[in-house]
Chain A
Amino acid sequence: MDAIGQFFAMGGYAAYVWPAFAIVLVVMALMWFTGIHGWRKSEQTLAALRSNRRQREGDAE
């Protein structure tokens, strides 16, 4: 077997080693992107609310 094939075979434990690493990376990536996305969305909502408010206060004067 070539070196690359040997690496991916993980000494016969490929069916355990790769899924373990994969799920950790997938879950960490998901947590990361949902966290960052949620924060960005909250920034936009807050900015929109504040500009609405400023506008209405401007109209009232």
Chain B
Amino acid sequence: MSMHYFANPTRFNRLAGRIQPWAGGLAAILLVVGLYMALFEVPADYQQGDTVRIMFVHVPSAWMAMFCYSFLAVASAVALIWKHPLADLAAKASAPIGAGFTFLALVTGSIWGKPMWGTWWVWDARLTSVLILFFLYLGYMALWQSIEDGQKAAKAAAVLALVGAVNVPIIKFSVDWWNTLHQPASVMRMDGPAIHPSMLWPLLIMALAFQVYFVALLLARMRMELNLRRIRALRLAERSS
């Protein structure tokens, strides 16, 4: 099966329509289970007390912030190099979701920082690079809006996405490269997770819930973008006839 098999928009639409409700339902179930574990089953931390529960929404949000941008950058590269007709749509559809998760990572981190660090915000490498990520998302979406010609907009936005991709490894390794208040990675480490299983499981369930939620919402947004493209084409044809 070639890469262009699902490039057929009608075929994509049909497949997406079948996956979307299942992904949405699964995300809801995982979210309920994850929230229950995070709020009721996880014991309060001996150092952080109950604020440690914020981790179960903060860390998955931050992971999604970076995952969505990586997805956006890969889709943009595929759009630029292979001209896959759905890649632009996938990139465009993922941006608002990524921006939302980045906003949530920043806000929940700030709420967690106040009782634990004594401050809502510090200009250190991790926090600043995530703030830059948020602005990259906003810039990417603004660029799509500002160029009338759809194909030109797609190209300019894809180039911006690829240039901004350099920020993703900077975020990931910022806690190792610079001195920071933010703690280093405790799950995605070369030597395995340094976090107790009683906290790791709820964290992974929440992360999976966010991931499946992303899939369901991305499909809906891609189908919307596909429709909008068809609507524009129909209106253009009407005007010229």
Contact = CB atoms under 8 A, between A and B. Distances in A.
Interface of A: 7, 10-13, 16-17, 19-21, 23-24, 27-28, 31-32, 35-36, 38-39, 42-43, 45-46, 49-50, 53
Nearest to B213: A28
A28 B224 CA distance: 18
Contacts of B108: 20, 23-24
A35 B224 contact: yes
A37 B46 CA distance: 44
Interface residues of B, number: 36
Contact of B231 (A11, A13, A27, A42): A42
Contact of A20 (B112, B223, B227, B235): B112
6 contacts: A10-B50, A19-B111, A20-B108, A28-B213, A38-B220, A43-B227
Given A21-B39, A23-B107, 12 more contacts: A13-B115, A16-B54, A16-B112, A21-B54, A27-B103, A27-B104, A35-B217, A35-B220, A38-B224, A42-B231, A43-B227, A46-B230
A50 to B, nearest CB: 7
Interface string B103-119: 11001100110110000
A24 to B, nearest CB: 4
Interface of B: 35, 39-40, 44, 49-51, 53-54, 57-58, 61, 96-97, 100, 103-104, 107-108, 111-112, 114-115, 213, 217, 220-221, 223-224, 227-228, 230-231, 234-235, 238
A39 B224 CA distance: 4
Nearest to A45: B231
Contacts of A17: 50-51, 53-54
A16 B107 contact: no
Contacts of B58: 20
Given A35-B220, A39-B221, A24 B49 contact: no
B112 A31 contact: no
Given A11-B44, A24-B108, A39-B220, A16 B227 contact: no
Contacts of B227: 39, 42-43, 45-46
A19 to B, nearest CB: 6
A27 to B, nearest CB: 6
Most chain A beta carbons < 10 A, residue from B40, B227, B228: B227
Contact of A23 (B40, B49, B104): B104
A16 B223 contact: no
